[in-house]
Amino acid sequence: MDDSHSLIAWIVIGLVAGALASRIVEGRGLGCLGDLVVGVAGALIGGALLHSLAPDYRYRFLGSIVVAFIGAALLLGVLRFLNHGRPLSGGRGRRRGF
C-alpha cells in the first residue's frame, strides 16, 4: 500500500476487501471483525506480491482495494484448502425454523 494511506483508509480497505473476498470464496461473510482481519491480512499479502512483481508500481485507493481483495481471496483459498474444503465459518449454515 502507498505510505500515504491512513489507519482509517487501511480499515476501510480491509473491510471492503475482506467482505468481498469472504462472500466470493466462502459464500457468506465472516462477520465485521473477521472480514476486517482477512482484508488487512490480504492487503499485506497482496501488497507483498505486487511489490515482488512490480516494485516501482504505485496505486491509489481503488487499486489498493483490488490488491487487498486478491490477497484476501488467496488467503481464504489457502485456509480453506488447509481445512480440507470445509467452510471457515465452522460449517454453520442458515438457521432453519423460527
- Number of domains observed in the structure of the chain: 1
| More reliable by pLDDT, 5 or 81 | 81
* C-alpha cell belonging to residue 80: 480453506
91 assigned to some structural domain: no
pLDDT at residue 89, as a whole number: 64
90 assigned to some structural domain: no
pTM listed for this prediction: 0.75
List the one residue out of 30, 14, 16, 36 whose CA is nearest residue 80. Answer: 30
List the one residue out of 13, 14, 29 whose CA is nearest residue 88. Answer: 29
2 assigned to some structural domain: no
pLDDT at residue 4, as a whole number: 54
CA distances for 87 relative to 45, 78, 84, angstroms: 21, 12, 9
Q: What is the pLDDT of residues 64-78, one digit of tens each?
A: 889 999 999 999 888
List the one residue out of 91, 41, 92 whose CA is nearest residue 71. Answer: 41
Please answer whether residues 47 and 66 qualify as being in contact, where contact means their C-beta atoms are separated by less than 8 angstroms: no
45 assigned to some structural domain: yes
Within 13 A of 54's CA, how many CA atoms are on the CB side?
7
* C-alpha cell belonging to residue 8: 482509517
1 assigned to some structural domain: no
User: Is residue 92 predicted with pLDDT exceeding 70?
Assistant: no
34 assigned to some structural domain: yes
93 assigned to some structural domain: no
* C-alpha cell belonging to residue 35: 472480514
**For residue 24, what are the domain limits?**
7-82
Instruction: Report the percent of the chain where pLDDT is more than 70.
Output: 83
User: Is residue 62 predicted with pLDDT exceeding 60?
Assistant: yes
pLDDT at residue 74, as a whole number: 92
Please answer whether residues 80 and 25 qualify as being in contact, where contact means their C-beta atoms are separated by less than 8 angstroms: yes
